Amino acid sequence: MIGNVFPVFVIIVAASVCLAAMVYFTSERYIPPTYHWLFAYLGFAVAVTWIYCLANEIVALLQVFGVIFNLSDAILGLTILAWGNSLSDFLSNIAVARKEFPRMAISACFGGPLLALLLGLGIPCIIEIIKGRAPPAFPLMFSSQFAFLFISIITGLLTTASLMIIWKFHTKRAYGVFLISLYVVFMTLSLLTELKVFSLPV
């Protein structure tokens, strides 16, 4: 509701009908209108809006599962949410590599998470600063999962940088085996910590 008077969907439907009527009366059957290029930007904005709404609902659904099964937000983010976010990138990177574009696939492996991390944190902070207020503090409860996460990321990045220099930027099968083993160890320790089998003194 807007001002406790107008439902939001009524305004959206009215605006959509007006735009549809404008397009109908200003375009011909087989000739695209002069503003046809605007549809690409409009489609992108609509897609981003849908993704934003669906992401909020998925996060809320995961929180419900966490409450039902007594799981922490950290383990839900490390498992279900992370797998859901990464599955499409995983499949597309494999497809690109099999098309004999290994450099593109490796670049995407590092570029995708970097883009999500920098823009995902940077854009909201910039918006808050433009509004004239400092970004709100977000307290992080440091736990064993975060400790394992930081250790795994630092180990993976340092090992990758070292091996790339030693191998003159040519990867080998052992490098892939190492990264997969590192992920398996990290997930095993995180799950054992969630199950209260053991924990780090943090």
How would you write 30-95 as a 3-class SS string? CCCCCCCCHHHHHHHHHHHHHHHHHHHHHHHHHHHHHHHHCCCHHHHHHHHHHHHHHHHHHHHHHH
Q: What angle do CA 68, 69, 71 make, to 5 degrees?
A: 110
The predicted structure's pLDDT at residue 135: 60
Whether the CB-CB separation of 27 and 33 falls below 8 Å is answered with yes
pLDDT of residue 134: 66
Query: What per-residue confidence (pLDDT) applies to 47?
Result: 92
The tokens describing 89, both together, are: 């990138």
What pLDDT shows up at residue 80? 84
pLDDT at 96: 92
Residue 189: per-residue pLDDT: 87
Q: Is the separation of the CB atoms in 93 and 109 below 8 Å?
A: yes
| Residue 181 pLDDT | 93
Q: What angle do CA 103, 105, 110 make, to 5 degrees?
A: 95
For residue 147, give both structure tokens. 């400790």
For the entire predicted model, the pTM comes to: 0.69
Provide the residue-wise pLDDT of the chain in tens; the chain has 202 residues: 565 666 777 888 888 899 889 888 888 888 888 888 888 998 999 898 888 888 888 888 888 888 888 888 888 888 888 888 888 888 999 999 899 898 898 889 888 888 888 888 888 888 878 887 766 666 667 777 778 888 888 998 899 889 889 988 888 888 889 999 999 998 898 888 888 887 766 5
For helices 144-166 and 173-194, angle between their N-to-C axes, nearest 10 degrees: 170
Q: Identity (one letter) of the amino acid at 48?
A: V
